[in-house]
Amino acid sequence: MKINFLVNKRPVTINSSPGRRLVDILRIDLGLTGTKEGCGEGRCGSCLVLMNGNLVNSCLISAFKLPDAEIVTIEGYAQSKEYANLKQALEVTGAFPCGFCSSGIIMATGNLLAENSSPTAAEIREALSGNVCRCGDYDNIIAGIRGGAAKPQSRRYGKTR
């Protein structure tokens, strides 16, 4: 089927069988390899993207749900000022030793900070409850996020409607 949708604010048209997963379309068809695949069943958070402004696991999104959708991946979020602040703060604490989980955790964090600009450690843990860091570096990640949260955030990124 032919599918038209937006990825990082750019119109995209693909031909795909309806059952393919968004994570595969992003990585294979569109070359957006910042989105990772971990568990493939919505439990590890490596593949998180925004779909119509909502945080979702791209491994759980079938292609037939995509027509007219608006997707933001880590590559899109990386263009924002919020990302720059967060990146800087996470570099200070040295979070993400291996980096595999980083795109998913940053997408979940961006989504949290858009709603709550100064989250507590407990609120951050809840927001990241669907993200697995294989290195177990949660304390440094949370410290970094709290540092980044001190910087101003816009209302919500990636949502244009």
Partner 1 sequence: MAKPGDLLRVLRPKSVNGLLRLYAKNPDALLFAGGTERATRLKPDSVSAESKIVIYLGKVEELSRIRRSQRYLEIGSCLPISRIVSIGRHILPEALSTALRSIANPAVRNLATLGGNICAAIPNNDSIAPLYAIDGQLEIRSLSGSRWVPISRFFPGAGETVLKEGEILFRIRIPLEEWDYQVFRKVSGSHICSHPLLNFCGLARFSKGILETVRFALGGLNNTVFRSLELESRLEGKTLPLSEKEVESLLAGADELLEPLTDSSFSAAYKRATGLRLLRWFIENIHRENR
**Contact positions toward partner 1, by CB under 8 A?**
1, 17-21, 24, 39-45, 48, 54-57, 59-62, 64-65, 108, 111, 126-127, 129-132
Quote the CA–CA distance of 39 and 42 in Å, as a whole number.
7
Three-state secondary-structure class, residue 66: coil
Which CB atom, from 45 or from 158, has the smaller least distance to partner 1? Answer: 45
AA letter at 147: G
Which CB atom, from 40 or from 147, has the smaller least distance to partner 1? Answer: 40
H or E element at residue 7: strand 2-7
State in angstroms the smallest separation of the CB of 38 from partner 1: 11
Which CB atom, from 24 or from 151, has the smaller least distance to partner 1? Answer: 24
Tokens, residue 59 = 């491994």
